Structure 1
């Protein structure tokens, strides 16, 4: 993880921070929404970063920025829901197409996504932050606004629930097990 030198301030600090956090935040958003929304939310996140550059912690600006992006994404989703409701009042619209991995998902990828979809959203988000964003308990705590200890405990429990569901699914579908077809 890259860290910011302390002496930078104002526009110089923002430029350095933006260079550090833009790619991790973009990856976080791409895993959770479509590309256009991700770009809009990234822009909103960078605007918050610009306004609050003095508030960004020196030790982990990525986790702080992902926390801001998470809130911005929630706002974007609320706005999208309102737009959909309004659109349905005006006319019937086709549902959006599912975004797929360009390399093509494997049976294991599908099984993991299936199990994540069966978990509580809070458990799934913890696991995504840990696995996909590679945040530790301190970073997860920063993103979710909880203590590192609470993040560690919640992550442990979420991992247990995931393992139970995954093993249950693997027992039902042999293509998701290690020796199965992919």
Structure 2
């Protein structure tokens, strides 16, 4: 049986061999903050899947993990941009015309529950019935909360933007 000390030693060896090459790989493909976030995710995957890391190909395996984690992070950014655009379209229909950064700021100023509700609606495309299931509330409550969250967002945009 492998002891915790043996596992920690193996992980330390893996990290020593792979940390800087993976950091350089990520730095060439993403901004510094994203690269560091993805690097942390890579180390977490390496720890969790330590038994799957091939002894003779640890670096290529870690770079493959980094590549996948970076794609996940980039998909997240694209989802955020689509959500912001969708919310901006909703505001244009309502008569406003906020820019995406104003929309992000306004979304960030909302209560976390409202922001999450709007993200579920905009990013994930959940309608009130689906929101009800995800949040464990009735469809009517979900529709009311979504309506109120949209109104709060519009109010916030009115305070901070054009």
Question: TM-score scaled to structure 2, two decimals?
Answer: 0.50
Cα deviation 1:80-124 (Å, max 9, x = unaligned): 100111122334236xxxxxxxxxxxxxxxxxxxxxxxxxxxxxx
* Aligned with residue 50 of structure 1, among 47, 51, 58: 47
Residue 17 (structure 2) aligns with: 20
- The equivalent of 1:35 in structure 2 is 32
Structure-2 residue corresponding to 1:158: none
Counterpart in 2 of 1:93? 100
1:24-64 Cα deviation digits (max 9, x unpaired) = 00110111111111111111110000001111111121111
If you compute each CA radius of gyration, which structure gives the higher value, 1 or 2? 2
Q: 2-side partners of 1:55 and 1:9: how far apart?
A: 15
- Determine the structure 2 residue equivalent to 1:67: 64
Query: What residue number does 1:97 align with?
Result: none
Q: Structure 2: any 5+ residue segments left out of the alignment?
A: 89-98, 102-162
In structure 1, the partner of 2:107 is: none
Alignment: residue pair count: 87
List gaps (5 residues or longer) in structure 1. Answer: 1-7, 95-182
- The residue that corresponds to 2:6 in the other structure is 9
Query: 2:89 aligned with 1:82, yes or no?
Result: no
Question: Following TM superposition, by how much is the alpha carbon of 1:12 offset from its aligned partner in structure 2, in angstroms?
Answer: 1.1
**CA RMSD across the alignment:** 1.6
Structure of higher RCO (CA pairs closer than 8 Å, 6+ residues apart): 1
CA distance in 1 between partners of 2:28 and 2:41 (Å) = 17
Alignment of 1:114-129 (within 5 A): none
The 1-side partners of 2:56 and 2:47 are apart by: 18
Runs of 4+ in 1 over 6 A off after TM superposition: none
